[in-house]
A and B are shown apart, each in its own frame.
Chain A
Amino acid sequence: MKKLLPLAALVLIVVTVQIITEWTDTRFYLTQLTMSAYYALLIIGLCVVMGYAGQISLGHAGFFAIGGYLSAALTTHNLVAYQNSALIRMLDGLGVLVSGQDIYGDALIAVTPWAACAVAVVSAAVIAWILGIPVLKLKGHYLAMATLGFGIITYRIVLASEYFGEADGISEVPAFQLLPGLAVSGDFGAREENYYIAWGLLIIGMILLRNLIDSRVGRALRSIHGSEEAAASSGVDTARFKLQVFVLSAVFAAVAGVFLTHYNGGIGPSESGVMKSVRYVAIVAVGGMAHLWGAMIMGVILNFLSLRGVFGSYDDAVFGLILIVVMLFAPNGILSLNWRGYAYMIFRLATARKQSGGKTDGPA
């Protein structure tokens, strides 16, 4: 029950926010809230890898890009030229192809978003699994370098491949019809449903991860973070647990990539850049490492502000400043601070000044 309460509160807040925007005629806030929710989905996945399994990953934008790019490429590349090949006919037989017209009226055959999503997410999982086996044996800065390297390779491949649109990325990605009448798309008319899709997904992600953390796996993970040697000697299969969590977080990142790409109608190379990965790691740290709620809240807030362009040309600078200040003064994350204590302290200071002010002002 105690576990359910915060989630119920989150659902309530999500609904309340939508109703408030409806009332105040500020529905446009939902656009950035939707996008931030997808980034937060990646961030909570990364939070479990970093905070609970104790493994740093500087390559998570790579998994996001694998999800987003594969889904975008498969649903936009026109297969009309190959429509008579055996493979295409077979795929058509399986019902994973969709034919229609592009916006200029030419014939178009492409993979359906559902099939593309499955391919993208499974690919990310398989790549994470293959990569994870050797990489997770590394430690400290070597692990950081290896994951960073993975991120760079993804970025380079995306930027150099004709199939992924090189520097321009992929545009005109179609809507993702989840259910009849419910599609992931950036159309102005579909804003509320997309807001709920994104936050629904994030809440499901939170439930999954909360359960994972409270399960046997979670306890094993915490023991790994505490001391890997101790955990291993008490019979915890550390390598397997680390790998499972790493793959799970890659899946979270890929799902976020797929959905955000369909929502945005496109994806560009900047999504796979090193700076993005660094940003995700930093947000997890600011949220407080082993603190799922903190990571989620910071993920939503920081992305929301950035996507609204609140800081203008100082966006990166403000972000850097937040990193430094939080890490200097609140190394366990911004939410670990004793807010009630501070409020009380400020209150005390304010009242104390008033009292002392009354005394000292007189003679002066």
Chain B
Amino acid sequence: MTVELFVQYLFAGITYGAIYAIVAIGFNIIYNTTGIINFAQGEFVMLGGMISISLLPYLPLTLAIAVAVLVTMIFGALLEICFIRWLESPSVLRMIIITIGLSILTREAALHIWGESIRSLPYFVGNEITTVAIWGARISPQVLWVIGACGLMVLFLSLFFQTTSVGREMRACAANRKAAILCGINTRNMVTLSFVLSAGIGALAGCVMSPITSTEYSIGTGLAIKGFTVAILGGLGNSMAAVGAGLLLGILEAFSISVLPLAFKDAIAIAILLVILFVRPHGLFGSATAAGLKEF
């Protein structure tokens, strides 16, 4: 394999990986405060893309994206307030099914609002055929935007959780909800906030990737499955592990193409995941004790 081809695969892998990682982080934020997996996470990505595209004729690109992210955050908050907040200690399976239901409803609503056609935001820099050369490989500048935006979001989130008081309160909820309540933290608001936060990063990812991947009403499901895979692979609840696992999965997928027919790409990725789960039943970077404490 030439250096050029290697770099080309590597960039393709990092692009997929960054997108998977962002969706997985969205899963983790909500999982940490509630202990549930929000299967509507992929729908946030779809909504971010769709809303910004619809706003584009009226607003400049940056503003359209900002408004789209804001609207999706409000949507995330509404989901939590209407469907989740008032439930008294719901079982995990019940929550899984409610979020699956929400995901299906959002997707079908999007189909009836926007139709089945594909749309995309314009390239932030240049157009569809602009390329930049890096070590002999040629990639679209948008790839750098995706990687950069995902990197920034990870940085922002870790700063938020480490340094701000709200971030620390959210972490307290994740560590021990009862103790957090005793410390006077309003855990219900923290749960709403976690929905707002993951809706926001999902929507932003949806905008940044839209020029490359295009946006249509049904992209959410596939992304949710990939994001879930990555979250599990890294170990639930661990956002940094999700970044590692996302990049690993993305790069694995990209390089698998060089030796195997493309048609089996997903099957290979999942088979590897299964093997890892059998050896380490709590994810690559997860801890067994932590996994044992989480109820199902």
A and B touch in the complex (CB under 8 A): yes
A interface list, Cβ under 8 A from B: 56, 134-135, 137-146, 148-150, 152-153, 156-157, 159-160, 274-275, 278, 281-282, 285, 289, 313-314, 316-317, 319-324, 327-328, 331
Partner of A316, one of B108, B261, B296: B108
A331 and B281 form a contact (CB under 8 A):
no
Q: In the complex, what distance in Å separates the CA atom of A313 from the CA atom of B112?
A: 9
Contacts of A156 in B (CB 8 A): 263-264, 266-267, 270
| Inter-subunit contact B281/A138 (CB<8 Å) | yes
Give the docked Cα–Cα distance between A143 and B90 (Å). Answer: 19
- Selected from B102, B236, B264, B274, the residue in CB contact (under 8 A) with A150 is B274
Contact of B232 among A141, A274, A322 (CB under 8 A): A141
CB contact under 8 A between A146 and B104, given known A156-B264, A323-B97: no
Across the interface, name the chain B residue whose C-beta is closest to A54: B296
Q: A331 vs B291: C-alpha distance in the bound complex, in angstroms?
A: 25
| Contact partners of B292 in chain A: CB under 8 A | 139
Contact check, B94 vs A153: say whether CB atoms are below 8 A apart.
Answer: no
17 contacts between A and B (CB under 8 A): A140-B291, A141-B92, A141-B296, A142-B236, A142-B281, A144-B96, A156-B266, A274-B225, A317-B112, A320-B100, A321-B105, A322-B101, A323-B97, A324-B98, A324-B101, A324-B102, A327-B98
Residue B144 interfacial (CB < 8 Å)? no
Q: Which residues of A contact B291 (CB under 8 A)?
A: 139-140, 142
Contact B271 A153 (CB under 8 A): yes
Highest count of chain A CB atoms <10 Å: which of B90, B229, B232, B295 = B232
Given that A144-B96, A317-B109, A327-B94 are known contacts, is A149 also in contact with B273, CB under 8 Å in the complex?
yes
Is residue B11 within 8 Å, beta carbon to beta carbon, of the partner chain? no
In the complex, how many angstroms separate the beta carbon of B226 from the nearest chain A beta carbon? 10
Which residues from chain B sit less than 8 Å from chain A, CB to CB? 37, 83, 87, 90-94, 96-98, 100-105, 107-109, 112, 221, 225, 228-229, 232, 236, 261, 263-264, 266-267, 270-271, 273-274, 277-278, 281-283, 291-292, 294-296
Give the chain B neighbours of A328 by CB distance below 8 A. 83, 87, 98
Known A160-B264, A275-B221; contact A149-B108, beta-carbon cutoff 8 A: no
Q: Are A139 and B296 in contact (CB under 8 A)?
A: yes
> In the complex the two chains form, is A316's CB within 8 Å of B282's CB?
no
Check if A316 sits within 8 Å of B91, measured CB to CB: no
Which of A146, A275, A319 neighbours the largest number of chain B CB atoms within 10 Å of its CB?
Answer: A146
CB–CB A285/B93 < 8 A: yes
Q: Which residues of B contact A139 (CB under 8 A)?
A: 281, 291-292, 296
Find out whether the CB atom of B263 lies under 8 angstroms from the CB atom of A146. Answer: no
- Name A157's closest neighbour in chain B (CB-CB): B267
CB distance from A56 to the nearest CB of B (A): 7
